[in-house]
Structure 1
Amino acid sequence: MVQAFPYDEFTTYLLTRNTSERRYFLRPTKELREAILYCIAEAQAQHPVQIHAFCAMSNHIHVVLTDPDGTAPLFVQAMNQNIARYVNCSLGRFGAMWEGGARPNYCVLPEQGDAFDKIVYTLTNPVKAGLVSEHHLWPGSISSVAQINKGSITTKRPKKFFAKTEDPELLTRELILTPAPGQVTMSQEDYGRYLARRVEETEDAIAADREAKGLRWLGRKECLKINPFDAPTTPWKRFTRNPKVSSKHEEARNAWIARLKRFIVPYEGAKRKFRAGNRDTPFPFGTFAVRLYWGVLIDPQL
């Protein structure tokens, strides 16, 4: 059973979605890299969210985003559906591409520093995994520091899966990249330099640790040889708990956990009444699906 979850306006998340059985369906080919970029840009055009960083590893994807109007699941659904359909089309397969039995994990980042930390974490994912020594060398879909500094990525509509069109707005999409929350006081150049320094420091620390352990990098060329139907050989436990909030400060974590608890009780109560036929029962602020699809009443005081 999926636990109720509040989607509040202007909340920042680290979104994570795993592939089915951890298979390398998102392996870093040029064709798939361009397709994933377009899928993200297309979803953002339909359901505007502020994207701060993203990285598609071979068997999972991370996106750091801020949701301005409490409808992030619409963006995530559009992005995931098109990526899954494109991957299945390109591989000639059917069935679920994403991990079944669980929704994407939304990890709330309550403070400005938490969001920036996860941006650095997302960009250095391929480095931490020992695949490449610098994030921009990863041949998969990733928002490099240079692209974040620029503020956008121009994406091209793939020739596979997507319907043919001559509409110039659909042939290319701009994937808009926004500075982390709280960094708007910085100029784009200053923000880019600060992010570059933080990413470089993390990459250097990972490289030093690997050198001390005598570990080598897999390398860009070997990454391109990954079989999409392979999976890691390490043990895998399904349905393990995923963090709902991440912060260096215990007070911030506890405050959001308390917010979640305050949401669940009135939400579950309202849902029972709604299912029993009371269409006028109010739901708490942060309710998503029944608010969007059923137009239920929202009571901010609940």
Structure 2
Amino acid sequence: MTRPRRHIEGQVVAITRRCFDRNHFMRPDTTMHDIAEYVFGRSTQKNNVEIHAAMVMSNHLHIILTDLKGRRSHFMRDAMSGIARARNKDLERSDHFWDGRQYCDTILLDRDAEERKLLYTWLNPVVADLVERADQWPGFKIMPKDWGQTIRVPKPDVFFGRRSPEYVEFTPQPPPGYGHMSLEEVRAHFEGLLKQAEDALIAARAREKRRVKCLNDLVNLDPFSRPDSPSPTGTLSPRFATKNPQTMVAAIARERAFRSEYARQRERWLNGHKRVVFPCGTLWLRHNAPVTCQAHDPTEAGLACTM
């Protein structure tokens, strides 16, 4: 049995997915931008998630979202399949598009972790010396200025057939935990944090006499190339993000208790017991079999309502 996933309604998560063999399949040209924008918009509508940040790099992507209905695995299935099929069609290839490992899914347990992951997402191209500031990245991205703005996306010319809608609409939202602030105040808060971090990186780049890439080099990058640096091995995919030790310990203990109880109830269910209640967060069986699950704890760290 593969390790069960625990997805709770309202969890705030950071998601990462990498291209096969680190190839630059998603170089930030206009076609790739249009594919990503359309696919994410369609999958957001279908699976009831709120996107707070996104950065589609040349060979990997980052997304920060709130999983309103515990359907982020469906969101990722639809979005990753849509990107892979459309971009493969555009590149005239049919082989694997994504890395064979599962996408990295990190639950953000508090507001500090949320802010750090948002900045990490936006700063990806800046840290890599690809652009001077995050907003200059030509690929698909969701930035603070996009919050509260409805984006209407036409169907791209590549791949999508007659059954695909001619337009999709979605509205990126600010992250949870800032209900005491107006939309303009939340935007200004994060734009200030982002500028401060960008300024520090620009200063460091100037001291070390490094340059950013030319825009034409970015959009004309060979999509079948990959980085010269060796692929990192043995890296861990963090399940949770927080700097609070007590919060982290509690989250790990809850995850272990979930797996233990899931295994116990699954065994009873397979043996024909009728009164079986699976633990809160059960994913696959909840969507594919008529099983009963426990209610979630609304005070659990990592939910939008507790940020």
Instruction: State if a TM-score over 0.5 links the two structures.
Output: yes
Note if 1:215 corresponds to 2:210: yes
- Match of 1:124, SS state, is helix
Paired amino acid for 2:189: Y
Mapped to 2, the partners of 1:229 and 1:280 lie a distance apart of: 54
Deviations 1:236-281 (CA, angstroms, capped at 9, x unpaired): 1457420111112222222211111111111122333444555753
Shift of 1:290: 0.8
Mapped to 2, the partners of 1:93 and 1:173 lie a distance apart of: 26
Partner of residue 57, structure 2? 57
Partner of residue 176, structure 1? 171
Partner of residue 132, structure 2? 133
Shift of 1:283: 1.4
Deviations 1:100-146 (CA, angstroms, capped at 9, x unpaired): 1x221110001122212211211111111110001111011111332
Could you state the TM-score of these two structures normalised by the residue count of structure 2?
A: 0.91
Is 26-35 or 218-227 further displaced after alignment? Answer: 218-227
Deviations 1:45-87 (CA, angstroms, capped at 9, x unpaired): 1111011111100111111001112121111111111011111
Number of equivalent positions:
297
Partner of residue 116, structure 1? 115
- Match of 1:87, SS state, is helix
Note if 1:243 corresponds to 2:238: yes
Partner of residue 194, structure 1? 189
**Closer, same or farther in 2 for the Cα pair 1:229/1:246, shift >3 Å?**
same
Mapped to 2, the partners of 1:284 and 1:269 lie a distance apart of: 10
**Closer, same or farther in 2 for the Cα pair 1:230/1:278, shift >3 Å?**
farther
Shift of 1:182: 0.7
**Closer, same or farther in 2 for the Cα pair 1:227/1:280, shift >3 Å?**
farther
Mapped to 2, the partners of 1:143 and 1:119 lie a distance apart of: 10
Mapped to 1, the partners of 2:88 and 2:143 lie a distance apart of: 27
What 5-or-longer segments of structure 1 have no aligned partner? none
Contact 2:144 2:174 in 1 (8 A): no
Q: In the TM superposition, what are the counterparts of 1:66-145 in structure 2 within 5 Å?
A: 66-100=66-100, 102-145=101-144
RMSD: 2.0
**Closer, same or farther in 2 for the Cα pair 1:218/1:279, shift >3 Å?**
farther
Mapped to 2, the partners of 1:219 and 1:119 lie a distance apart of: 25
Identical aligned residues as a percent: 27
Paired amino acid for 1:45: Q
Note if 1:264 corresponds to 2:262: no
**Closer, same or farther in 2 for the Cα pair 1:213/1:277, shift >3 Å?**
farther
- Match of 1:217, SS state, is coil
**Closer, same or farther in 2 for the Cα pair 1:277/1:219, shift >3 Å?**
farther
Contact 2:8 2:296 in 1 (8 A): no
Paired amino acid for 1:145: P
Is 48-57 or 139-148 further displaced after alignment? Answer: 139-148
Partner of residue 303, structure 2? none
- Partner residue of 2:229 out of 234, 241, 252: 234
- Match of 1:37, SS state, is helix
Mapped to 2, the partners of 1:301 and 1:107 lie a distance apart of: 19
Shift of 1:200: 0.5
Is 221-230 or 272-281 further displaced after alignment? Answer: 272-281
Contact 1:280 1:296 in 2 (8 A): no
Contact 2:12 2:108 in 1 (8 A): yes
Q: In the TM superposition, what are the counterparts of 1:32-47 in structure 2 within 5 Å?
A: 32-47=32-47
Shift of 1:203: 0.7
**Closer, same or farther in 2 for the Cα pair 1:132/1:69, shift >3 Å?**
same
Deviations 1:200-237 (CA, angstroms, capped at 9, x unpaired): 11111111122222211113221112111111122214
Partner of residue 305, structure 2? none
**Closer, same or farther in 2 for the Cα pair 1:121/1:114, shift >3 Å?**
same
What 5-or-longer segments of structure 2 have no aligned partner? 298-307
- Match of 2:201, SS state, is helix
- Match of 1:174, SS state, is strand
